[in-house]
């Protein structure tokens, strides 16, 4: 559909779907098929030769999945999108497609644990090297770049300390060296942050999180320039094969329709909790880019719409007190995902970041007293009441 682009809040609901073609069905159909029959042998030949558009086999493309890919591309202000069976299928397809043996990736600190694992594997098996960089100053970023660097890979906010990386600064340095910038935008969703608008080359999502939004699907998405997406589609998606199922695409199309409403409520609730946490005697420090006293607040204003739905805080005490806090909760669930309707709490030092050696952890600000909360959509007073009664017992 080559229509003029509407506002974000309209595109999440309508983009790329014309119900009149499908009996007026308000919800899009699920094309639950593995393959597509050709009308003639000639048509089969033409489809394979790429001279005629059309579907061949669902690993190479499927109409339900395509609808989601087109929708996410528009939401990220990108040319094309591509769907994967998980966030990690997306991350691995991107990194394998973009790098060759002897090349180097500069990576932000605190990246997702399995992305960290993938980088180790790429180094050990394929000699694609990497190094980590805090990316908090221009000097630091310049210093991290080597002659063989071909990719900068970032997550902002940095998990779980919620410090931001100035994407405009990273892009300006990367452009000087002809280096591609890839952003894992999972924590923000396109509603809060659009890295392609700032000049980044590729956006990745674990759609399992805010895009799905209901904790019932594992999925990944990427958005970027048509050429790059096409290349990934025809190599590391097609030949490694981590594709998304039509049903999961349908769940994500459904989830996306409320993304803007959910994100604003996640942010409202997070702001409320931060205000209350700051004034509780058992809390040492809060970490939230949407908080005016955060060192990242100026960058937040520049590149994000709002502060997001993830908050961290340090309690007075250590591991024992942190675990006690988690065990005292009733409404809030102990779990490591994020972006769901339910408020989820986790202890990074013993859960998401347990694989990081203790000294590196502490250097990154991940102390035993740090707690991360994925703020849900419940009544903010109820979330706070649960947290408060647990904090009061410490």
Ligand X SMILES: *Cc1c(COP(=O)(O)O)cnc(C)c1O
Binding-site ranges for ligand X (CB under 6 A): 86-88, 91, 112, 114, 155, 184, 186, 206, 208-209, 218, 220
CB of 39 to ligand X, least distance (A): 38
CA neighbor of 351 nearest in space, from 340, 341, 339, 361: 361
Residue 145 vs 152, nearer CB to ligand X: 152
Query: Is the Cβ–Cβ distance between 103 and 148 less than 8 Å?
Result: yes
17 or 112: CB nearest ligand X = 112
CB of 206 to ligand X, least distance (A): 3
Minimum distance of ligand X from residue 19's CB (angstroms): 30
Shortest distance, CB of residue 81 to ligand X, whole angstroms?
16
- Identify whether the C-beta of residue 186 lies closer than 8 Å to the C-beta of residue 210: yes
User: Position of tokens 């003029």?
Assistant: 4
Beta carbon nearer to ligand X, 86 or 369: 86
Neighbours of 323 (CB within 10 A): 15
Taking the mean position of all CA atoms in its chain, how far away is CA 162? Answer: 14
DSSP letters of 144-177? H--TTEEEEEEESSPTTT-----HHHHHHHHHHT
Contact yes or no for 225/201 (Cβ under 8 A): yes
Q: Which residue of this chain has its Cβ atom nearest to ligand X in the complex?
A: 87
Nearest distance in Å: CB 373, ligand X: 14
Taking alpha carbons only, the member of 72, 64, 50 closest to residue 257 is 72
Gap between the Cα atoms of 321 and 169, Å rounded: 39
Please say which residue, 112 or 384, places its beta carbon nearer to ligand X: 112
| CB closer to ligand X, 87 vs 195 | 87
In angstroms, give the least distance from the CB of 336 to ligand X.
9
If the CB atoms of residues 31 and 112 are measured against ligand X, the closer one turns out to be 112
């Amino acid at each position: 559909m080559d229509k003029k682009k509407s506002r974000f809040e309209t595109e999440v609901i309508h983009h790329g779907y014309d119900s009149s073609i499908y009996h007026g069905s308000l919800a899009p159909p699920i094309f639950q098929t593995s393959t597509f029959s050709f009308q003639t042998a000639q048509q089969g030949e033409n489809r394979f030769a790429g001279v005629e558009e059309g579907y061949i086999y669902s690993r190479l493309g499927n109409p339900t999945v395509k609808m989601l890919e087109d929708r996410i591309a528009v939401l990220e202000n990108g040319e094309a999108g591509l769907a994967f069976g998980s966030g990690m299928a997306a991350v691995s397809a991107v990194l394998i497609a973009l790098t060759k043996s002897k090349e180097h990736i500069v990576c932000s600190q605190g990246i997702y644990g399995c992305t960290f694992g993938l980088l180790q594997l790429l180094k050990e098996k394929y000699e694609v090297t990497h190094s980590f960089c805090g990316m908090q100053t221009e000097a630091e970023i310049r210093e991290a770049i080597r002659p063989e660097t071909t990719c900068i890979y970032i997550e902002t906010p940095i998990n779980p300390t919620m410090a931001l990386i100035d994407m405009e600064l990273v892009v300006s340095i990367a452009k000087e060296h002809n280096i591609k910038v890839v952003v894992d935008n999972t924590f923000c969703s396109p509603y809060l942050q659009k890295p392609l608008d700032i000049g980044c080359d590729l956006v990745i999502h674990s759609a399992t999180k805010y895009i799905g939004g209901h904790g019932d699907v594992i999925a990944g998405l990427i958005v970027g320039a048509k050429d790059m997406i096409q290349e990934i589609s025809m190599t590391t998606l097609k030949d490694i094969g981590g594709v998304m199922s039509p049903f999961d695409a349908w769940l994500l199309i459904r989830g996306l329709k409320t993304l803007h409403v959910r994100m604003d409520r996640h942010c409202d609730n997070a702001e409320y909790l931060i205000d209350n946490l700051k004034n509780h005697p058992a809390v040492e420090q809060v970490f939230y880019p949407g908080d005016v006293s955060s060192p990242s607040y100026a960058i937040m204003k520049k590149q994000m719409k709002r502060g997001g739905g993830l908050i961290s805080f340090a309690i007075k005490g250590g591991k024992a007190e942190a675990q006690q806090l988690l065990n005292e909760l009733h409404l809030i669930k102990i779990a490591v995902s994020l972006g769901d309707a339910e408020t989820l709490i986790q202890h990074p030092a013993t859960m998401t970041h347990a694989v990081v050696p203790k000294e590196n952890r502490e250097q990154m600000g991940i102390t035993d007293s740090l707690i991360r909360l994925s703020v849900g959509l419940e009544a903010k007073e109820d979330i706070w009441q649960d947290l408060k009664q647990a904090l009061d017992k410490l």
